[in-house]
Structure 1
Amino acid sequence: MNIPLPPGNILQQMYLKERLRSLKCGEFIEVGCGQGYISKLLLDLGWRGTGYDLNPSVVKKATHLNQAAIDQCQYNVNNEDWFSANQDSKVDLVISCLVLEHLDDFKESCYFNKCRQMLKPGGRMILFVPGSPKHWGIEDEIAGHYRRYTSSDMQQKLEQFNFSQIHLAGLTYPLSNWLLPLSNFLVEKAEQKKLKSTIQQRTQASGDRRVLFKTSFPFLLKLILNEAVMYPFYLLQKSNLNHPYALILYAEAKL
């Protein structure tokens, strides 16, 4: 079933599709694939690849969502740690959506180094990470985040690990900022007990959260939670790509 996605996710995916139109399709790895929506976007555009996630329940959902591609040997999804996975062939793209902020400083360095190891010459790395450290809040704590990023933070990381920056952009502004007080209220009401868990447990659970009107929506809301209705907000997003308070940072780089 084509379930409604949160408005911020819709805006992010719309932007990703626009960026991918300039790339030749090839092989990808999605790190922390969650329920498989980004992988499906890539597969629908003609890519083929592999998803990795530590949470077995979301791996089942990603498998179900992308079963047709799996049956056609265009995709596979693995319930294992990408850092220790044995994948010999290099790929054209490594992508992750809201993963890097879950890694401590050492693992964050390992991530960039593993990307360098797995990418073909000229291959791309695409990252979605939380932006605007000013907006650190309850959801960061509950989801098991270590940090939010500024554009300068990301630029320094790319330089440190010898990636050539292609594009940086702030996404979901201003819509996500308008919705943030409601979002924080819903998250605190539904998930505050998760703060008693370890940060590792919160990270593993972050890909399968069920917060009504935040991460899950009644099916009828598909009438408004779709790309056509969201298009005016997409235009607003595009006119504010450099806004320092954008809650999502998009980074694209190559070897």
Structure 2
Amino acid sequence: MKANFEKKYHEIETEHFWFKSRRRYIRDLLNSLPRDAKILDIGCSSGILLNELLEDGFKKENLYGIDVSEKAIANAKANGLVHVFVMDAEKIALEVEFDVVIASDCLEHLKNDVVALQNWYNLVSLRGQIMVFVPAFMSLWSPHDEVNLHYRRYTLSQLKSKMQEAGFRISKASYWNFLLFTPVYLARKLRNLSNKKNTTGDLGGIPKANGLLFKIINAENKLLQRVSFPFGVSTFCIARK
């Protein structure tokens, strides 16, 4: 991601409803795991999710993170994390098998996503699982994707196909952020018509309705335990070897 975007990202990643609600969904999914599970967060940024998992009782020595950004890993280390490394997500070199691998908004940054998924497959233990979240639909492409240095956005079928090509067996797949799809779509189409330069994409700061938006997405998170959504701003797959 570009420097101005990354600076803003680190300023808001802890409290912004988007990131907070996705971390909440991931934490709920991991709640039934043994607390000594080995977990890798690919694209861990400042390690906010890993520290929340620490609060949930997971052991620090089994929590790992990688990020391509030196600033992100410096922040993660300052936040008390130990096993965090500056590393290319296409070719992660860790001699550990993980019970859970998490990649939130990472795959779209990688030029060769199939190679990355094959690498991630080798990081998952025999009975382990992987959770991959990516932005959805090229129709939502906007300056936000450009300053974030995305290569692509995905449909659910594209993400499933690429993960299956890498060898994964899909256990849960859906779109995410369903209720906000229409306002986000309209806002991005209007922004695409504007000639205004924007160096931080959609990350203008913490929105005034942040608490309400968190409640909306968190309600969707609970529904995802029973249903899958037909479209959304993001899409994800949970899979096993």
What TM-score bracket applies, with the shorter chain setting the length? 0.7 to 0.9
Q: Does the Cα contact within 8 Å between 1:8 and 1:176 map onto a contact in 2?
A: no
Matched, 1:173 2:217: no
> Which of residues 220, 226, 234 is equivalent to 1:248?
234
C-alpha distance after superposition, 1:168-204 (max 9, x if no partner): 1211221354255557859985635xxxxxxxxxxxx
Structure 2 regions of 5+ residues with no counterpart? 1-10
1:88 alignment partner, SS class: coil
Structure 1 regions of 5+ residues with no counterpart? 193-209
Answer 1 or 2: which has greater helix percent.
1
Residue in 1 that maps onto 2:32: 22
In the comparison of the two structures, how many residue pairs are matched? 223
TM-score normalised by length of structure 1 = 0.73
Q: Does the Cα contact within 8 Å between 1:11 and 1:171 map onto a contact in 2?
A: no
**d(CA) in 2 for partners of 1:24, 1:189:** 50
C-alpha distance after superposition, 1:106-145 (max 9, x if no partner): x312211112211110111111100123212221122111
Q: Does the Cα contact within 8 Å between 1:173 and 1:237 map onto a contact in 2?
A: no
C-alpha deviation, 1:27, in angstroms:
0.7
**d(CA) in 2 for partners of 1:242, 1:188:** 37
Residue in 2 that maps onto 1:118: 123
Residue in 2 that maps onto 1:225: 210
C-alpha deviation, 1:253, in angstroms:
0.4
Q: Greater relative contact order (Cα 8 A, min sep 6): structure 1 or 2?
A: 1
2:94 alignment partner, SS class: coil
**d(CA) in 1 for partners of 2:156, 2:188:** 24
Q: Cα–Cα, structure 1 residues 85 and 151, in superposed 2: closer, same or farther, change >3 Å?
A: closer
Identical-pair percentage: 20
5 Å matches for 1:149-160?
149-160=154-165
Matched, 1:63 2:73: no
Residue in 2 that maps onto 1:141: 146
2:206 alignment partner, SS class: coil
TM-score normalised by length of structure 2 = 0.77
Q: What CA RMSD, in Å, does the superposition of the two structures yield over aligned residues?
A: 3.1
Residue in 2 that maps onto 1:43: 54
Q: Cα–Cα, structure 1 residues 177 and 123, in superposed 2: closer, same or farther, change >3 Å?
A: same
**d(CA) in 2 for partners of 1:2, 1:230:** 14
**d(CA) in 1 for partners of 2:204, 2:46:** 12
Q: Does the Cα contact within 8 Å between 1:6 and 1:214 map onto a contact in 2?
A: no
Matched, 1:91 2:72: no
C-alpha deviation, 1:3, in angstroms:
7.4
C-alpha distance after superposition, 1:31-75 (max 9, x if no partner): 1111222222332223332111121112122222x31xx3xxxx4
**d(CA) in 1 for partners of 2:235, 2:125:** 24
Residue in 1 that maps onto 2:205: 216
Q: Which aligned segments of 4 or more residues in structure 1 are displaced greater than 6 angstroms?
A: none
**d(CA) in 2 for partners of 1:148, 1:2:** 23
Residue in 1 that maps onto 2:22: 12
C-alpha deviation, 1:95, in angstroms:
1.0
